[in-house]
Structure 1
Amino acid sequence: MTCGINNSRVLLAHGDGGLLSREMVRDIFLKYFNNPLLGQLSDAAVFRLKGEKVATTIDAFVVDPVFFPGGDIGKLAVCGTVNDLAVSGARPVYLNASFIIEEGLLLTDLEKIAAAMAEACVEAGVAIVAGDTKVVPRGHADKIFITTSGVGIVPDGLDLGYHRPEPGDVVIVNGSMGNHGLTVLTAREALGLEGALKSDCAPLNHTIFHLLSGCPGVKLMRDLTRGGLASAAKEIAESCGMDMLIKETAVPVDREVRGAAEMLGLDPFYLANEGKFLAVVTAGEADKALELLHESIYGRDAVIIGEVRAGRGSVYLQTALGGTKFLDLLAGAPLPRIC
């Protein structure tokens, strides 16, 4: 079932970053808005403006609850946009922020959110330079929604893109999977499973550019947000026209996340992250890439989890038992309002 004429209404699953999300983008938005930049469906659009190579991106944040262990909607809005620019090779410079506020929101909560945004901006080294606010009646929103856009500068000579990966390249992630998604879900449902669970929400631009400055073998990066590692890997494989092999035992998953996910019947590979990225690196520079990542607080747990192989866009998971299974886009398990 697609989001075309056979699907008359939007479902929550259309917002989970998986199969239905992709079909909605393809069948509606690309149908009317498609152009060479948008058609790449990357984390940010990269183009030249008066000789300068720049990147721009935009994202809306509707996370529920707005406050969660490890962050809040304000920190998330800044980090999400900064990270989309960074994995596209851009040094984030300026952000814009738009707020839809529901009547009745506590002004003290609004101030906490603004303070968290300011703190995240300081850590990332960016500034919010334009914004807008709208207030809607009670029941016409849910506390607060934030949309942030950003612009960054891409260094000359840096080339990241789906055209670059080749068979033999290694796949690296900078840390454990699923922390953000599971933290938000358990906080929302008040399941009492939080314990040590904490969102990984963080600005990754300094970590990423420390990597890029010392490792020219980085070919491609992706932010592992909605749909998690599995969906991002599948999108990369399809866009590159190559296969990817991921070793299940090599992918880091915190004990608390693994235990809670098993209890809830969830797969950490499909859970959202807000401080994790995937990098495709030439095999000869893999050790250097890990060395550079381990020097950063947001990369100290970086590991190689697999490799690129010749193929047609499939992602294979080598399981702990020695078997192999396919990883595909998230489908049929909506995880709404994670970011």
Structure 2
Amino acid sequence: MESLKIAIFCWESLYAERVGGLAPAATHLAQTLAQHHEVHYFTRGWIPDQTIKGVSYHYCQPQGNNIVEYCNSMSLAMVENFRRFDAGRKFDYLHFNDWHAVQALHILQDRNTVLTYHSTEYGRSGNHFGDWWEFKEISGKEWYGGLIAKRVTAVSAALKNEVMQLYHVPDWKCDVVPNGIVPREYQARIDPGEVKRAYGIQPADPLILFIGRLAYQKGPDLLIEAMKTVSRDHHDAQLIVAGEGDMRQDLMERAKDMPVHFAGYIPDSAYVRLLNACDLVVIPSRNEPFGLVLLEAWSAEKGVVASNVGGLSENIDSLVDGVKVEPGAGALAGGMNTVIDTPQQAVALGKRGRKKVDRVFRWGPIGGKILETYSRVAA
């Protein structure tokens, strides 16, 4: 394929404002495409424009009294920056990520546009429809983006079905393109006992790790309830909960007198150390369009117990490279006990997961799939 000029619009990135899994997904895709194409990344941040690993990052500083106003302001600033670099050779493809930049998509809808759904507001709200105005505004933007984009992608078949049902995106218009991973970023040579001691945990104690937003969608409350059963069956089992969110105070109340350690927000370096020191990663989500934590755990060769939902359900072969359970405290406890009972099984699950990462979730082939979607825009 001849060299293309590609614009990526995303409200977060690895090198400025970062919120969650969208940052590594969009940033690594941009870096993959930049190996053979000219890539410009329009995002927000309070730093000067810069070029990293072949990608030109263009920043803006939006303002707003709420998230919807803020993202509309961001979209307008993104378009202004975009037009500065659209002179001369025009951009071949414009790739938007999630709802945040839909106002920019609206302004530029006559171009070759692609919108990637990484999740939906319905899913983030715990698979139910909200009455608050922000839910309606954001859901409306998700619907409108799917309507006007020339092509749509979703990070899993489950999410594709969700956007088809919620927003009536036709099947022919939507491609499934999963997220990828850079495995070496999640591997570290550490002394597991030393890492455990730093959190007040004995080196021989089985360590269970949860990382993510402390929000209903992610199911941390189910995990705390499950831990009550696990603690009765394995008195030495310990749980570290890493992340922040609205549920934190309630979760801490529920976990009183339990072997649960709330680490709060942790930087990437601390996360990688914990990931490599733990004995089991648990992903108890009620809704999970993809589940990037799964790939991170597999990259570190860790066994995983996960809810049988969304992308987790699609990507895990149960009892081969992970354990899938129905979302609920009882099922989670059963899955966790099964793995803790047989530590050698956790090791085997993690090693098979690592092999699957190499087969399926490398960024090179995934970048190729995105390029195939781009080619369908102009077809």
* Superposition TM-score, scaled by structure 1 size: 0.28
Point out the structure with the larger strand share. Answer: 1
* Superposition TM-score, scaled by structure 2 size: 0.26
Point out the structure with the larger helix share. Answer: 2
Answer 1 or 2: higher relative contact order, Cα 8 Å, separation at least 6.
1
